Amino acid sequence: MTPNKNRAQGFRLASYNIHGALGRDGRRDLGRVVRVLEELDADLVALQEVDSRHGEFDMLDELAARTGLTPIAGPTLIHHRGSYGNAVLTRASILAVRRIDLSVQGREPRGAIDVDIRLPDGALRVLATHLGLRPAERRHQVQRLLAALKESERPATVMMGDLNEWFFWSQPSRRLHTYFMQTAAPPTFPARFPLLALDRIWARPKRMLRELRAHTSPLARVASDHLPVTAVFAP
């Protein structure tokens, strides 16, 4: 996947819950996901629900091969038929990778990928995650993520993913707004007629985050139950 020379200047980010490549029409079609990724033309994309339990190939490896991007795996479920969880695809140089366990006892395992990448003017820290369905889970998970951020703060940080948080004034939302400052939240779910802003991108400092929007192409509306959210990071 080659960069679009006509796009806005800056480092292009995206977050996309691909729903295991299961589209709204009930078909599992990885080719559609690849075409949406080509539309996004992101330098780094955080993926959720990357699912290799239903086919004969590793979904992340296949996405990396078809896009030419470097993969970083963050599985949260390991099964004898394959894995399931988070991932990052990027064309940037990777400086370091860490993984954060966000699991809550009795609930589906969750986690975050914590990666440092090289930019022309320095480094960018990116946390890519997918939080739980229950409010108590999300409170614990946001607390853990903020602790990790504060343990080793960087000059430039982005956090993104499917936060599963639709209450704007919930405790997790307020804590994230306090750390990153309040940020636009375009609706991304359900993909056909999006009403809820489940998929989010935050940046610190906030002034570096530009052109935040949902990607609403006809293909994106059918390839998954979520729309991607995109932004340009410009140091």
Give the whole-angstrom CA distance, residue 124 versus residue 90. Answer: 13
pLDDT in tens, 59-107: 999 999 999 999 999 999 987 778 999 999 999 999 999 999 999 999 9
Residue 30 class from Cβ within 10 Å (0-12 exposed, 13-18 middle, 19+ buried)? middle
Q: Which residue is associated with the tokens 């570096």?
A: 208
List Cβ neighbours of 61 (8 Å cut-off, separation of 6 or more): 71
Specify the DSSP class assigned to residue 206.
G
Token pair for residue 217?
A: 């192409």
* φ, ψ (nearest 5 deg) of residue 105: -55, 135
Quickly state the pLDDT bin for 171 (edges 50, 70, 90). Answer: confident
What residue ranges define each of the domains in the chain, with the CATH number in brackets?
11-233 (3.60.10.10)
List Cβ neighbours of 103 (8 Å cut-off, separation of 6 or more): 76, 109, 110, 111
Quickly state the pLDDT bin for 6 (edges 50, 70, 90). Answer: very low
Task: Using DSSP, state whether 27 is helix, strand or coil.
Answer: coil
pLDDT in tens, 196-223: 999 999 999 999 999 999 999 999 999 9
pLDDT of 70: 98
pLDDT of 54: 80
Average pLDDT of the chain is 93
Give the whole-angstrom CA distance, residue 35 versus residue 219. Answer: 8
